[in-house]
Amino acid sequence: MENGFFGLSAGTFFAVIGVPVLITALLFYWGITFDSRFPETVEKKQKSAGGNGRTK
Partner 1 sequence: MNFQTAVSWVMALGYFVFLIWIGIVASKKIKNFEGYIVAGRNIGFWVFTILVIASCMSGMTILGSSGLGFISGWPSIWEQVFVPLSCALTIFLFGTKLHRISSKTGYLTLQDYLAHRFDSPRLMRGLSGFAVFAVSLIYLVGQYTAVGITLQRVLHMDYSYAVIIGAVIVTFYVFLGGLYAVSWTSLVQGIILIVGVLIVAPVIIMKAGGLTHINQTMAAIDPNMIKAAYPQVHPPYAGYAFLTPVYIVSFALLLSLGLASAPHVINNVLAARKNSYFKWSPVAAFVIYVVVFYLIKIVGFAARTMVVDGVVKLPEGVANPQDFCFIVAVEHAFGPLIWTFFGMMVLAAVMSTTDRLLLTIGSSFAWDVYRNLLNPKATDESVTRVSRIVVFVSALISIVLALNPPKLLAWLIWMGIGVMLSVFVVPILAGLYWKGANRAGAVWSMTLGLIASFIFGYLGKFVLKLPFHFSFIPFIIAIVVMFVASKIGKPTSEKIIQETETGMFF
Q: Footprint of partner 1 on this chain (CB under 8 A)?
A: 3, 6-9, 11-12, 15-16, 19-20, 23-24, 27-28, 30-31, 33-35, 37-38, 41, 45
| Nearer Cβ to partner 1 (11/51) | 11
Q: If 0-12 CB within 10 Å is exposed, 13-18 middle and 19+ buried, where does residue 6 land?
A: exposed
For the CB of residue 7, give the shortest distance to partner 1 in the complex, in Å. 3
Distance CA 48, CA 32 (A): 21
For 32, phi then psi, to 5°, come to -75, -20
| Nearer Cβ to partner 1 (31/55) | 31
